[in-house]
Amino acid sequence: MDGHRGRLTPTTSLEHFAAKWIRFAIKECGTSRSRADLIQVETALERFGTDGETMAKKVLVLLGTKKGAFILESDAERRSWHLRGPFCETWPMNHVIADSGTGTIYGGGGNEWFGPAVWTSIDLGASWTHSSQGLAYPTGEQPIKTVWSLAPCGGRLYAGVEPAGLFVSDDGGRSWAHVPGLRDHPSRPDWQPGGGGLILHSLVPHPRDEKQIWVGISAGGVFYTADGGETWEARNRGTRADFLPDGQNYPDHGQCVHCLVMAPGISDRLYQQNHCGMYRSDDGGQHWESIEAGLPSSFGFPAAVHPRDPDTLYLVPLNGDVAGALRPGRQGRGVADHGRRQDLDRPTRRPPAGERLYRSSAPSAGYRPLGACGRVFRDDFRHALRQCRRGRHLDVHRSAPALDLLG
């Protein structure tokens, strides 16, 4: 992407740029192939204006791994990259983000040994502090293992944790308060841990109304609040739960959501990668429509929407919940017909090696594989973007140039 005029150039295309950071993550960060699926990434841009025009001055790629946070840094041309890290005292980091309004970098992570914490850097990673103050449920409840997701909203910072719950900070992450309304929802006793645990992994605040928030929980479903978290409603109508008995596949709650994202400029347009399909909603999640037709599999974890085009979506389908990535020489698992269980015995077309990352350019235009990805990524792509069981973030910074997609 041309740093001055936003033109896509061959040297910084989506495929080439994504391949670069994946190779850094696996080769330089000490991230083993078996753990590279835990990488979470979001871009952060240091920007300035000249003559009314905003241009990228510095590009930071933020990575959270099992061995701490790392930062890949480049200038607007993005022809060479400098790796910094590990940060956060090599704590396991599940999500690293940047607040575009303040330039602050936040990282969420921890485990049963360290406990949960949110790390903060106000100088682009040069120094870090962390806090766990208030990140706890009442005495007698299951302890919090880790922080899985972060999102700034209206001067506040929200954190999704495991076991699934929501916390908020009004002082930039120095202290936290539980948002009890979510866990007080009547469906709470029915929430069950998925393969990676009972996780609140997706936080989607409304861009103009700080009272409105959507969250995704595996396995609990999508929930929405219009009053800042005091009350919540389940929004899962139209999404399947193929793992439930026949006749019970469209429950009010209990679906295994894998990723939830909002389209730019259309706050009611949501996309969802589910354990059992890919969906779009045009009414804020009140109704969901399956959009998985054309994909080699209905199963996957990450999803990312174009930062300016609400109709462009990126997905990384997997070969079901057991077999892993779609690879040459292996049959893909069947995409389920609406309302029926996934046919695991019916093979689909085997995608070539390059067909790992899929893009849809319009709601009814179907999907096309970004074939060059596989030719560049090969085994690195298979492991680093797999994000099985835990990784769910495939984020595009909304102020970034188009096609700066990072998984």
296: confidence class by pLDDT, cuts 50, 70, 90: confident
Largest CA distance in the chain: 62
Contacts of 372 (CB under 8 A, 6+ apart): 13, 15, 354
Tell me the CB-side half-sphere exposure of residue 176, using CA atoms within 13 A: 28
If you average pLDDT over residues 360-380, what whole number do you get? Answer: 54
Percent with pLDDT over 70 in the chain: 67
Cross-strand pairs, 63: 41, 70
CA distance 308 to 207: 13
Q: Residue 23's pLDDT is what? A: 53
pLDDT at 335 over 50: no
CA distance 191 to 234: 12
Report how far apart, in Å, the C-alpha atoms of 344 and of each of 10, 113, 335, 336, 400 are: 39, 38, 9, 9, 39
Q: What number of other Cβ atoms are within 10 A of residue 345's Cβ? A: 8
CA distance 244 to 259: 20
Instruction: Say which residue the tokens 């970034």 belong to.
Output: 400
371: confidence class by pLDDT, cuts 50, 70, 90: low
331 burial type by CB count under 10 A (0-12 exposed, 13-18 middle, 19+ buried): middle
| Distance from the Cα of residue 261 to its chain's centroid | 8
Contacts of 283 (CB under 8 A, 6+ apart): 268
Q: Residue 76's pLDDT is what? A: 86
pLDDT at 3 over 70: no
Q: What is the pLDDT of residues 380-403, one digit of tens each?
A: 333 333 333 344 454 544 443 332
Q: How many residues does the chain have?
A: 407
Task: Kindly list the structural domains of the chain, giving each domain's residue range(s) and its CATH number in brackets, ordered by start.
Answer: 10-384 (2.130.10.10)
pLDDT at 151 over 50: yes
Highest mean pLDDT pick, 200-214, 361-375, 382-396: 200-214
Q: Residue 86's pLDDT is what? A: 95
Both tokens of residue 211?
């009272």
238: confidence class by pLDDT, cuts 50, 70, 90: very high
Average pLDDT of the chain to the nearest whole number: 76
If you average pLDDT over residues 215-242, what whole number do you get? Answer: 95
For residues 288 and 250, the answer to whether their CB atoms sit within 8 Å is no
Higher pLDDT, 22 or 325: 325
Model's pTM, two decimal places? 0.76
Both tokens of residue 404?
């700066």
CA distance 403 to 8: 8
Q: Residue 293's pLDDT is what? A: 84
CA distance 270 to 279: 8
Q: Residue 325's pLDDT is what? A: 61
CA distance 313 to 272: 10
CA distance 123 to 105: 8
If you average pLDDT over residues 30-50, what whole number do you get? Answer: 37
∠ CA(35), CA(103), CA(22), 5° rounding?
Answer: 25
The SS3 call for residue 383 is helix
